């Protein structure tokens, strides 16, 4: 089955009008974080009860234990044809001959029956070499359902990656020596220098940098990618180096769960009203506050360009910039750290207040074909592709039929004249990185933080399709347009690089200390 999802603007894997069915990756992140907490709690409870006293329940067999060589080769050929026909930037970062060799290596590896995990690793490793953060292979629905039912031994700590080194951030184990900032030299005998490249090779990202991949590993997916490459264990022996430089071996165990006092009734939390739930959701998506240091400074935090789903974004922007003018605000800090993108129309509307004359967010958005041969313009078909998203350009090429592409006009009389500062990091992706790149290309601003996860040149997106491979039912996410930012001379294969690099230490992350805002006054020009 093939399914195409049109976006109101430049999409990310975080998708447009996000719903569980339509936004597989964003929902995977949300569900995974919730599942991770629930499963960790379950494993802790089991440990508190005494695992040796009980026999663990049998683990259900993985779906479709082995696929035949013919099935594997058939799906591989299907995937290759789809990418070569319809992917808008297949050879943007990887030369044609190099990618052909990668296809040949993958084909040669399909010489024996495989289980889904092994096949997924082969395909995802191949697809990741396209260097497109919107192109990825996902497990089949049956495999995902099976995986969620399995017990998992999570790492009882979170991690930070700094200069290709791995550090502990939050120690959730019963081992007090595993302090924030402890360097992990090896896990289960595997050195960090081996682990990180293997895990990164499974994560699709724009260009050649590792900021997006490291951000995903730090955001709660280190465990899952580790399981894809190494054996899962009830506990993981570590070789660590502490702050004094001494090395030691540790096997951190989960903390025991303290049982509630007998007879103590649980007090359920009161469910929020619909209005409260809406307000909380909006507060998570975007918020504004005014800082005392430096004075006359406003901080606009945008965690995702998806707040149009819960509010009228144009009304919010108009009220915000009217208040900035009334307060005589001199500096606007726009915090895009961890923003995976979303609706490009939100980004365009913001730029209408931040740019004085006509501007562009996306200079062009081109597709190699009007409609892929493996899709249909019939809305009743499972292989539906919305051809209204595509228009033929005067030169005969095909472009994205979105109002956010091309020249945009500012709101006259509402230009924000103060200083503009953007905060970015490896999680700044898609529409968020496009905004950073295009705004800096058209106005003098200051960017602080870490290199963005999204490429400075632009991305492949516009409309994403989900291709279900016929034999194995793995799902391939395929973008249809190549979107370019306003940056005339982007750094090839790199994200938006900050003017002032600020990398939080593992200790700062563990203490929830904002490494930028805590010293913002000293970072401004």
Does residue 150 carry a pLDDT above 90? no
Read off the tokens for 208. Answer: 């050649």
Please say whether the beta carbons of 212 and 339 come within 8 A: no
Map out the domains of the chain as residue ranges: 69-139, 157-250, 281-468+481-522
Does residue 195 carry a pLDDT above 50? yes
Least confident of 41-55, 96-110, 187-201: 41-55
Name the CATH code of domain 281-468+481-522 (choices 3.20.20.10, 3.90.226.10, 3.30.379.10, 3.40.50.1820): 3.90.226.10
Least confident of 46-55, 147-156, 320-329, 371-380: 46-55
Query: To the nearest whole number, what is the mean pLDDT of the chain?
Result: 87
Least confident of 5-14, 114-123, 235-244, 251-260: 5-14
**CA angle at 348 for the pair 345 and 350, rounded to the nearest 5°:** 110
What percentage of the chain's residues is helix, strand, coil (to nearest 5)? 35, 20, 45
Does residue 444 carry a pLDDT above 50? yes
CA distance 488 to 44: 53
> Which residues on adjacent β-strands are paired with residue 424?
449
Please say whether the beta carbons of 237 and 189 come within 8 A: yes
Ranges of H-type helices in 305-456 = 313-326, 344-354, 431-442
pLDDT for res 232: 84
| More confident call, 260 vs 13 | 260
Read off the tokens for 28. Answer: 């995977």
pLDDT tens digit string along 389-443? 999 999 999 999 999 999 999 999 999 999 999 999 999 999 999 999 999 999 9
Ranges of H-type helices in 397-501 = 431-442
Mapping DSSP onto H, E and C, the string for 35-93 reads: HHHHHHHHHHHHHHHCHHHCCCCCCCCCCCCCECHHHHHHHHHHHHHHHHHHCCCCCCC
pLDDT for res 260: 61
| Strands 398-400 and 390-392, sheet pairing | antiparallel
> Which residues on adjacent β-strands are paired with residue 16?
none
**Average pLDDT value for residue range 238-267:** 82
User: 255 falls in which pLDDT band (50, 70, 90)?
Assistant: confident
Q: How far is CA 373 from CA 3, 84, 426, 474, in A?
A: 13, 12, 36, 20
pLDDT tens digit string along 362-398? 999 999 999 999 998 988 888 889 999 999 999 999 9
| Tokens 């302090």, residue located | 179
CA distance 316 to 201: 40
**Average pLDDT value for residue range 504-521:** 96
Closest CA to 313 of 273, 352, 276, 357: 352
Mapping DSSP to helix (H, G, I), strand (E, B) and coil, where does residue 350 land?
Answer: helix
Mapping DSSP to helix (H, G, I), strand (E, B) and coil, where does residue 294 land?
Answer: coil
What's the distance, CA 352 to chain centroid? 27
Cα radius of gyration rounded to whole Å, the chain: 24
User: 258 falls in which pLDDT band (50, 70, 90)?
Assistant: low
Least confident of 9-13, 145-149, 323-327: 9-13
Question: Using DSSP, how many helices (H) and how many strands (E) does the chain show?
Answer: 14, 21
CA distance 501 to 342: 25
Does residue 491 carry a pLDDT above 90? yes
Same-fold call for 157-250 versus 281-468+481-522: no
User: 278 falls in which pLDDT band (50, 70, 90)?
Assistant: confident
Closest CA to 321 of 279, 347, 288, 285: 288
Does residue 268 carry a pLDDT above 80? no
* Other Cβ atoms within 10 Å of 256 Cβ, number: 11
pLDDT for res 27: 35
Architecture of the domain spanning 157-250:
Roll (2.30)
CA distance 429 to 433: 5
* Other Cβ atoms within 10 Å of 317 Cβ, number: 19
pLDDT for res 1: 36
- Strands in 148-254 per DSSP E: 157-162, 165-171, 183-187, 190-191, 238-241, 247-250
This prediction's pTM: 0.86
Mapping DSSP to helix (H, G, I), strand (E, B) and coil, where does residue 117 land?
Answer: helix
pLDDT tens digit string along 36-94? 433 333 333 323 322 323 333 444 556 768 999 999 999 999 999 999 999 999 999 99
Please say whether the beta carbons of 478 and 137 come within 8 A: no
């Amino acid at each position: 089955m093939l399914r195409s999802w049109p976006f109101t603007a430049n999409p990310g894997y975080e998708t447009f009008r996000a719903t569980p069915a339509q936004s597989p990756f964003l929902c995977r992140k949300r569900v995974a974080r919730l599942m991770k907490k629930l499963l960790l709690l379950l494993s802790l409870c089991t440990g508190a009860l005494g695992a040796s006293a009980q026999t663990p329940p049998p683990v259900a067999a993985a779906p479709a234990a082995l696929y035949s060589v013919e099935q594997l080769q058939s799906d591989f050929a299907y995937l290759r044809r789809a990418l070569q026909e319809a992917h808008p930037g297949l050879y943007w970062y990887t030369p044609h001959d190099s990618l052909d060799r990668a296809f040949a290596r993958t084909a040669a590896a399909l010489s024996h029956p495989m289980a889904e995990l092994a096949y997924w690793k082969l395909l995802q490793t191949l697809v990741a070499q396209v260097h497109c953060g919107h192109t990825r292979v996902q497990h089949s629905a049956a495999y995902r359902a099976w995986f969620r039912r399995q017990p998992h031994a999570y790492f009882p700590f979170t991690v930070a990656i700094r200069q290709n080194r791995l550090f502990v951030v939050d120690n959730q184990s019963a081992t007090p020596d595993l302090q924030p900032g402890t360097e992990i030299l090896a896990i289960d005998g595997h050195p960090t220098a081996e682990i990180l490249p293997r895990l990164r090779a499974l994560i699709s990202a724009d260009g050649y940098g590792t900021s997006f991949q490291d951000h995903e590993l730090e955001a709660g997916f280190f465990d899952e990618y580790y399981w894809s490459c190494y054996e899962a264990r009830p506990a993981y022996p570590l070789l660590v180096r502490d702050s004094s430089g001494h090395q030691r071996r540790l096997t951190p165990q989960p903390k025991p769960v303290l049982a509630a006092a007998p007879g103590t009734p649980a007090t359920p939390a009161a469910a929020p009203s619909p209005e409260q739930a809406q307000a909380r959701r909006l507060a998570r998506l975007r918020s504004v506050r005014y800082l005392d240091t430096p004075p006359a400074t406003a901080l606009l935090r945008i965690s995702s360009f998806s707040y149009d789903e819960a509010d009228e974004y144009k009304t919010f922007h108009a009220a915000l910039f009217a208040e900035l003018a009334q307060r005589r605000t001199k500096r606007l800090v726009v915090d895009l750290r961890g923003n995976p993108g979303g609706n490009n129309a939100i980004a365009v509307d913001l730029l209408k207040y931040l740019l004085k004359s006509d501007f562009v967010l996306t200079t062009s958005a081109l597709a190699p074909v009007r409609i892929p041969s493996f899709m249909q313009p019939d809305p009743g078909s499972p292989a539906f592709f919305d051809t209204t998203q595509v228009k033929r350009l005067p030169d005969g090429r095909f472009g994205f039929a979105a109002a956010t592409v091309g020249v945009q006009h500012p709101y006259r009389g509402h230009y924000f004249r103060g200083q503009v500062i953007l905060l970015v990091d490896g999680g700044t992706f898609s529409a968020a990185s496009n905004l950073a790149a295009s705004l800096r290309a058209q106005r003098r601003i200051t960017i602080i933080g870490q290199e963005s996860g999204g490429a400075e040149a632009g991305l492949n997106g516009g409309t994403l399709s989900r291709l279900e491979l016929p034999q194995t039912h793995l799902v391939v996410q395929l973008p249809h347009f190549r979107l370019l930012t306003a940056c005339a001379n982007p750094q090839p294969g790199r994200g938006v690089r900050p003017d002032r690099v600020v990398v939080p230490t593992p200790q700062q992350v563990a203490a929830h200390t904002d490494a930028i805002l805590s010293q913002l006054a000293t970072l401004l020009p």
